[in-house]
């Protein structure tokens, strides 16, 4: 969502590149300062709701992510 808002000037062009989808609803998964991956949610009526759902999911597993990065 942040990238989409910051690059609204080229969003239409990015939509024509294979393998890229510029939408809200994706968040990085970071633990201990390390990027582990990402989570993406889609289907709600509005990308802001998708992003909120992804954030809630990350909060649910937050303690397990910190534990996993300490091993």
* Residue 59 belongs to some domain of the structure: yes
pLDDT at 44: 85
pLDDT at 71: 52
Low-confidence ranges of the chain (pLDDT < 50): none
Q: Which domain holds residue 40?
A: 25-71
Question: Whole-model pTM?
Answer: 0.64
> Per residue in 54-68, pLDDT tens?
999 999 988 887 765
Reference 1, options 23, 16, 21; nearest CA is 23
pLDDT at 21: 73
Give SS3 for 3: helix
* Residue 57 belongs to some domain of the structure: yes
* Residue 66 belongs to some domain of the structure: yes
Give me the number of domains the chain comprises: 1
Residue 24 CA: distances (Å) to CA of 14, 44, 68? 14, 11, 27
* Residue 69 belongs to some domain of the structure: yes
pLDDT at 19: 81
Within a 13 Å sphere around the CA of 57, how many CA atoms are in the beta-carbon half? Answer: 15
């Amino acid at each position: 969502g942040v990238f989409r808002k910051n690059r609204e000037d080229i969003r239409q062009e990015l939509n024509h590149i294979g393998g890229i989808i510029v939408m809200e609803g994706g968040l990085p998964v970071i633990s201990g300062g390390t990027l582990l991956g990402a989570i993406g949610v889609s289907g709600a009526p509005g990308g802001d709701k998708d992003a909120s759902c992804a954030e809630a999911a990350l909060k649910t597993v937050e303690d397990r992510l910190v534990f996993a990065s300490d091993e």
